[in-house]
A and B are shown apart, each in its own frame.
Chain A
Amino acid sequence: EPEVTQTPSHQVTQMGQEVILRCVPISNHLYFYWYRQILGQKVEFLVSFYNNEISEKSEIFDDQFSVERPDGSNFTLKIRSTKLEDSAMYFCASSLGLAGYNEQFFGPGTRLTVL
């Protein structure tokens, strides 16, 4: 069964460093998302992406964050200068059809630890 994959599974970085989290959505899906979950807290929406541009972003997704679909398969989240409070599990998700009406399938997550 097709699934969303994410790499790496765990990333440790120093505060102020740039990180790139990678995702391979399900191949025929058209809508892509990033969410994060700080330990013990709710899963929070970061950004949605469709047709090679951001559709919606939350207040968390500030200028330090960017997303890109550099080729036909990868979808990346970049954090330019990491802060301690960026430590969280980051989930990528994808959806086949019109995003408000279809299931979103999540990857296994990347655990980001900022020291």
Chain B
Amino acid sequence: SQQGEEDPQALSIQEGENATMNCSYKTSINNLQWYRQNSGRGLVHLILIRSNEREKHSGRLRVTLDTSKKSSSLLITASRAADTASYFCAIIDRGSTLGRLYFGRGTQLTVWP
């Protein structure tokens, strides 16, 4: 399956701590995207990292990509209670111009105040 798979399934931390979530996949990719979903709500796009990139930052978010290991990580630094949500990685196959995203099951992050 091309789908991304996140690890861990659930993560519980205190405010101020860093949260790291991992994503593994099986195919070659064009890019990998991370999304956040608050309970019962829509998907919010966080970061897109292309297959020729190794690291990207956006505010408190840092994403890495290792195409040799077919894995990515999302780091949230100095977490806040408002970061509590499910986080998904989604991949687009290499060579795909049609944009079909394959999602993983997500990591449920809980940040305690």
Contact = CB atoms under 8 A, between A and B. Distances in A.
A106 interface: yes
Given A100-B97, A101-B50, A91 B43 contact: yes
Interface of B: 3, 30-31, 33, 35, 40-45, 48, 50, 88, 90, 92-93, 95-106
Interface string A25-49: 0000001010100000111110010
B30 A43 contact: no
Counting chain A residues whose Cβ lies within 8 A of the other chain, the interface size class is 20 to 34
Interface in A58-99: 58, 89, 91, 93, 95, 98-99
A101 B31 contact: yes
Nearest to B30: A100
A98 B30 CA distance: 11
A108 B37 CA distance: 10
Nearest 9 A-B pairs (CB), nearest first? Answer: A99-B99, A108-B42, A106-B43, A43-B103, A100-B96, A56-B98, A100-B97, A100-B30, A55-B98
Interface of A: 31, 33, 35, 41-45, 48, 50, 55-56, 58, 89, 91, 93, 95, 98-109, 111
A103 B101 contact: no
Given A42-B104, A56-B98, A100-B92, A106 B48 contact: no
